[in-house]
Amino acid sequence: MTAIDATTPELIPSLLPSLLAARAGGFRPSPVRDFWEVSMEPDVISLAGGNPDLSVLPLAELGEVATRAIAERGLEVLQYGGGAGTPGAREAAARTMAAEGVVADPQHVQVTAGSQMALDLVVKLLCDPGDVILAEGPSYVGAIGLFVGMQVDVVHVPIDDDGLVPAALEDTIARVRAEGRRIKALYTIPNFHNPSGVTLAAERRPEVVRICRDAGITIIEDNPYGLLSFDGTSQPSLQAMDPDNVIYLGSFSKVVAPGLRVGWAVAPEPMRRPLQLASEATVICASVLSQAVVEEYVLRHDWLGVLGRARSLYAGRAAAVLGALAATAPAGVTWSVPRGGFFTWVTLPEGTDVHRVLDAAIDRRVVFVPGSAFHADGSGANQLRLAFSLEQEDVLVEGVTRLMAAVAEVAGL
Ligand code: PMP
């Protein structure tokens, strides 16, 4: 008898009712990963994946750091570690927040295997199936995928060039509550938002914090890009404004390296113990070796100097993309102007089908992620995300030029 492979995609629907939990059907492939194969073809220009450019990393130095960690502290770093993280990694996380002007006690840091895991734990602790999480429209595809997979309903809050619109947040809360639904959290990416590239304006921050506090809604502040401003400035953190109502998520993925898989959460006091227990139930502890590398690199090397070089690289690439858009975009196409991070968000003329644009773009050997991927409600049909973090400036200009030719063809412009 042939063994049934439950991972075979076509078998999953028929097996679902009998073998798998109801939530198993909720986990979907990431649309960004869908483009992985085509974006790997040598003649394709990828404006799809938001990976950091690791070419700036001092690899020899990091190699020595890793070798020394094993050679000198092998019995410690190859052993299980504490459930909240190693003292060194917790200190490194607090120092990273301090680099943005946020004061955090290392004792309050929960280290996780990337901030994606921190988000997973937070949703597990906050939400029951059918609960609502508010999120910017558009929002991070990995968060939407997680929320939907956990049977949490995502309701989007409109944004503009200054991020979340406070009046729209208030309206959305009132509307969702009038429908009798329970809102558990606002999930927000205030700095250099993925995918829109916008940053929540400083004057809106206290207002967003106040609205959520008054409404009894926890804020999940996801801040993987905060240190990646093009001009070296930082915005005030929501967590610092209301530490009792904000769960802060941080990550070394975009400022050191994602392959290390080290992120963290700083939660209000009553959540810290449950967070650690949930983390222990999931991974026992995050990789102690990775934490040792982060500790040594962040606490004893000029990592902010390296990051400064990365920031200039990204700033140059953003300028190249924005310049190419200004030079080649057909009338009626608009885009956000990021002040940091990896992304710009493009809106095509009303009625332009972004999936037809994607087909035409792939014909011209360029890929991007369509806007619908960043919405839980099917919006974004005429929008798209451009990532500028990984390609060289001249390649980005060529990519945008080809893409705008595809837009012109599909929109009949
Ligand atoms: N949040 C946002 C907004 C992201 O863009 C990402 C990574 N793309 C993550 C969280 C997850 O990061 P990590 O590698 O730390 O899990």
* Tally of structural domains, the chain: 2
Report whether residue 194 contacts ligand 1, using a CB cutoff of 6 Å: yes
96 with 179, same domain? yes
Same domain (yes/no): 82, 170: yes
Query: Percentage helix, strand, coil, to 5, in the chain?
Result: 50, 15, 35
Residue in 253, 261, 282 to alter for ligand 1 test, most ligand atoms within 8 A of Cβ: 253
| Whether 334 and 296 share a structural domain | no
Whether residue 92 is found in the same domain as residue 217? yes
Q: Ligand 1 pocket, 115 CB below 6 A?
A: yes
The least confident of 12-16, 175-179, 260-264, 274-278 is 12-16
Distance in Å, CA 51 to ligand 1 centroid: 10
- Bond from prior residue into 195 cis (ω within 30 degrees of 0): yes
Q: Does some domain include residue 314? A: yes
Which of 251, 283, 301 is at the close of a domain? Answer: 301
Whether 9 is covered by a domain: the verdict is no
Residue 213 lies in a domain: yes
Q: Tell me the three state secondary structure of residue 185.
A: strand
User: Does one domain contain both 88 and 42?
Assistant: no
296 shares its domain with 147: yes
Amino acid 32: pLDDT: 67
Q: What is residue 13's predicted lDDT score, i.e. its pLDDT?
A: 56
Q: Compute, in angstroms, the gap from residue 328 CA to the centroid of ligand 1.
A: 31
Q: Determine if ligand 1 sits within 6 Å of the CB of residue 197.
A: no
Same domain, 38 and 174: no
Does any ligand 1 atom lie closer than 6 A to the CB of residue 140? yes
Predicted confidence at residue 17, as pLDDT, reads 65
Ligand 1 centroid – CA 292 distance (Å): 21
Which two structure tokens, joined as six digits, stand for 32?
Answer: 């960004």
Give the C-alpha separation, 374 to 394, whole Å: 27
Question: Would residue 18 count as lying in a domain?
Answer: no
Say whether both 264 and 394 belong to one domain.
no
Position in ligand 1 atom list of the atom nearest CA 193: 3
> 116: CA distance to ligand 1 center in Å?
6
The range of the structural domain enclosing residue 233 comes to 76-301
- pLDDT higher than threshold 80 for residue 18: no
In a domain, 273, yes or no: yes
**Contact 226 CB / ligand 1 (< 6 Å):** no
Q: Do the domain assignments include residue 12? A: no
The mean per-residue pLDDT over the stretch 61-75 comes to 96
Q: Is the CB of 189 inside a 6 Å radius of any atom of ligand 1? A: yes
Our answer on whether the CB atom of 251 is closer than 6 Å to any ligand 1 atom is yes
| CATH number of the domain bearing residue 344 | 3.90.1150.10
Give the model's pLDDT for residue 26.
82
Residue 363 lies in a domain: yes
- The pTM of this model reads 0.95
Q: Answer yes or no: do 276 and 310 share one domain.
A: no
Q: What is the pLDDT of residues 106-161, one digit of tens each?
A: 999 999 999 999 999 999 999 999 999 999 999 999 999 999 999 999 999 999 99
Q: End of a domain among 301, 316, 350?
A: 301
The C-alpha atoms of residue 224 and residue 115 are separated, in whole angstroms, by 8
Q: Is the pLDDT reported for residue 74 higher than 80?
A: yes
| Burial track 329-341 (b if 16+ CB lie within 10 A, e otherwise) | bbeebebbebbbb
Residue 16 pLDDT level (bands cut at 50, 70, 90): low
With respect to residue 63, please indicate whether it lies within any of the assigned structural domains: no
The CATH number covering residue 191 comes to: 3.40.640.10
* 143 shares its domain with 105: yes
- Candidate ranges 10-14, 26-30, 35-39, 98-102; pick with highest mean pLDDT: 98-102
- Our answer on whether the CB atom of 50 is closer than 6 Å to any ligand 1 atom is yes
Looking at the structure, tell me whether residues 52 and 90 fall in a common domain: no
Q: Which of 301, 327, 351 is the last residue of a domain?
A: 301
Q: Which atom of ligand 1 is nearest to the CA of 115?
A: 15
* 184 and 285 belong to one structural domain: yes
Which residue's alpha carbon is nearest to atom 5 within ligand 1? 194
The string of pLDDT tens digits covering residues 232-250 is 999 999 999 999 999 999 9
Among residues of the chain, what percentage have pLDDT more than 70? Answer: 95
The region that residue 330 occupies, defined by phi over 0 for left and psi between -120 and 50 for alpha, beta otherwise, is: beta
